[in-house]
Amino acid sequence: MLVVAAVPKPGEPVPDVAARSAALLIGTARQLIGQPGARLWGITAGVRESTDEAHLAGSAMWGLGRVLAGEQDDLWCGTIDLPGEGLPGADLAAVLLDVLRSDVREDVVAIRDGAAFASRLRRAESPATGDPVSCRPDGTYLITGGLGRLGLEVAAWLAGRGARRLILAGRQGLPPRSAWADPADPETRRRIDGVRALEARGMTVRVIGLDVADAGAAARELSPDATGLPPIAGVVHAAGVLEDRLATDVDEKSLRTVLRPKADGAWVLHRLFPPGSFDFMVLFSSCGQLLGLPGQATYGAANTFLDALAAHRPDTTSLGLTSWRGYGMAVNEATDRWLRSQGVTDISAAGAFSAWDRAARTGTGYVAVLRTVPLTEGQERGPLLRDLATGPETDGNRPSGGSFTGLSREELGNRVLRWCAPRSPMRCGSPPPPWTSAGP
Ligand SMILES: NC(=O)c1ccc[n+]([C@@H]2O[C@H](COP(=O)([O-])OP(=O)(O)OC[C@H]3O[C@@H](n4cnc5c(N)ncnc54)[C@H](OP(=O)(O)O)[C@@H]3O)[C@@H](O)[C@H]2O)c1
């Protein structure tokens, strides 16, 4: 068994520590491949609550570890999240050692208050008493990845919720309007048509060419002086790239490529718009890492960073989306097959928006948005989703109290409790996500 943890260097930016931690986990996993029965634990601190910015540094390991575990038959990988504050005491060390000595096969184990917790998804059941998503007619709404497949759908949906001014940001932007009649390729045609459709609804649309991970450019391009629009009242961060490959084939460049738009980009937005700057921020994450979707190690790492940021910020929600039926980067037969093997399938665009609305109405910081389907004979869901098949969890929040010492390895594994619900119905909900929402 090997245990790895990345120690931040003084002044190192949080997304850089996240990338370094992920690289360390991958590098260590590579060493262990081919050693039957090998076990690898990543150690993080405070990611579950992410109360402090520094806690986000370990978050990428969560998604990466889950995918690693899904890809490798002879290597098991999980993450232990230690409390974020305070010096580790004897109690903590005892529980940590017990978990390490056990055969537990949970993707993430959080040690809190002298007990070990594993996470479970459960159906969203909290009462939706708040307001649905609404936009102010005098505000401006920024969508990163706004010209992407989902970005343009989001733009149209926000228009239906009262938005009158939109900024759509992506690296490529659009050619000058004089060239719109005869675009160079079908992708540009699609983007132009999307913008025209919004304008036909009376929307003011600014398209800006922006790499959202470039802090200087973002500060320049998104200022009201540069946009000529009222201040930004809400942000949807939907920028992302996929570069699927097995975790053991991931190199520094591919890791950085996938982390850049999501983790670095979200960090830039977080710093540019501190909590309280606007009404809401919604991060487009994915549920792929929850299912250990092979090939998506880097994508999983990037998305768990988003989930942790949503736990950190009181005004932010991360949507852990399954594939949108027929849309965008997730249109992929292999992905569909894997989802089915876990008893999960895609959602409609309407289902995704309804889950977003529900998250807004319940004030939830994280929602896994997926649809469950019956498993075929012989198939089994991973631990995280197992309770979905058997109904809602009833006693998952109860700490055990008693000591872990003197138990057999199997008993130790069984003593790991389950955490299902956020400690309050609001944003301190813990990544990995406690809720699932079933779309139509
Ligand atoms: N499609 C799905 O079913 C699905 C499921 C789960 C989660 N998601 C998430 O939803 C988001 C949108 O997905 P999609 O399917 O619409 O993908 P998409 O069509 O590929 O759109 C992603 C957009 O992000 C932009 N982008 C990439 N890197 C950027 C950067 N550094 N700065 C600014 N913009 C950047 C790209 O535009 P440029 O190339 O011009 O920069 C692209 O238009 C992604 O974050 C994805 O992870 C999608």
Give, for ligand 1, the residue of 168, 207, 214, 284 to mutate: max count of ligand atoms closer than 8 Å to Cβ. 284
Tell me which residue has its CA closest to atom 36 in ligand 1: 145
Q: How far away, in angstroms, is 324 Cα from ligand 1 center?
A: 13
Contact 393, 129 (CB under 8 A): no
pLDDT digits (tens, 9 = 90+) for 293-350: 999 999 999 999 999 999 999 999 999 999 998 876 767 788 888 888 888 999 999 9
Look at residue 417 in the predicted model and tell me its pLDDT: 61
Tell me, in angstroms, the distance from the centre of ligand 1 to residue 262's CA.
9
**pLDDT single digits (tens) 36-62:** 889 999 999 999 999 999 999 999 999
Fold agreement between 2-122+384-427 and 140-372: yes
Q: How far is Cα 39 from Cα 133, in angstroms, rounded to an integer?
A: 44
Q: What is the pLDDT of residue 396?
A: 33
* Yes or no: domain 140-372 corresponds to CATH 3.40.50.720: yes
Please tell me the predicted confidence (pLDDT) of residue 227.
96
Q: Any alpha helices (H) in 102-242, and if so which ranges?
A: 149-160, 186-200, 215-221, 224-227
Q: How far apart are CA 345 and CA 324, in angstroms?
A: 10
All structural domains of the chain with their residue ranges = 2-122+384-427, 140-372
Angle (CA) 262 345 249, round 5°: 45
Per the DSSP assignment, residues forming a β-bridge with 75 are: 38
CATH number among 3.10.450, 3.40.50, 1.20.1250, 3.30.2310, domain 2-122+384-427 = 3.40.50
Phi, psi of 207 (to 5 degrees): -105, 125
Residue 148 Cα to ligand 1 middle (Å): 6
Which residue, judged by its Cα, is nearest atom 18 of ligand 1? 148
Q: Tell me, using a 6 A CB cutoff, whether residue 347 lines ligand 1.
A: no
> Alpha-carbon distance 244 to 436, whole Å?
25
Q: Where do we find the tokens 């190192």?
A: 12
Token output for 214: 């470039």
Query: Which residue has its alpha carbon closest to ligand 1 atom 21?
Result: 148
* Residue 284 CB less than 6 A away from ligand 1: yes
Say if pTM beats, i.e. exceeds, 0.75: yes
Ligand 1 pocket mutation pick from 329, 331, 348 by most atoms within 8 angstroms of CB: 329
Cα 373 from Cα 297, distance rounded (Å): 24
Look up residue 360 and give its amino acid. A
Distance 140 CA to ligand 1 centre (A): 20
Determine the Cα–Cα distance for residues 233 and 140; give it in Å rounded to an integer: 6
Q: Among candidates 94, 128, 126, which has minimal Cα distance to 113? A: 94
Q: Is 351 in the pocket of ligand 1 (CB under 6 A)?
A: no
pLDDT of 157 reads 98
Residue to probe by mutation, ligand 1, list 147, 150, 262, most atoms within 8 Å of CB: 150
C-alpha 344/C-alpha 352 separation (Å) is 15
Which residues make beta-bridge pairs with 323? none
Specify whether the CB–CB gap between 240 and 151 falls below 8 A.
no
What are the 10-residue block averages of pLDDT along the chain, 440 residues in total? 84 96 95 91 95 96 94 91 82 91 91 90 84 96 98 98 98 96 95 98 98 98 96 98 93 97 98 97 96 94 98 97 83 83 91 94 91 85 75 35 54 59 29 35
Per-residue confidence (pLDDT) for residue 414, from 0 to 100: 56
Closest ligand 1 atom, residue 147 Cα: 43
Give the CB-side neighbour count of residue 263, counting CA atoms within 13 A.
32
Distance 299 CA to ligand 1 centre (A): 12
Q: Is the CB of residue 258 below 6 angstroms from any atom belonging to ligand 1?
A: no
Q: Which residue's CA is the closest to the ligand 1 atom numbered 33?
A: 170
Q: What is the pLDDT of residue 87?
A: 66
**Predicted pLDDT at 253:** 96
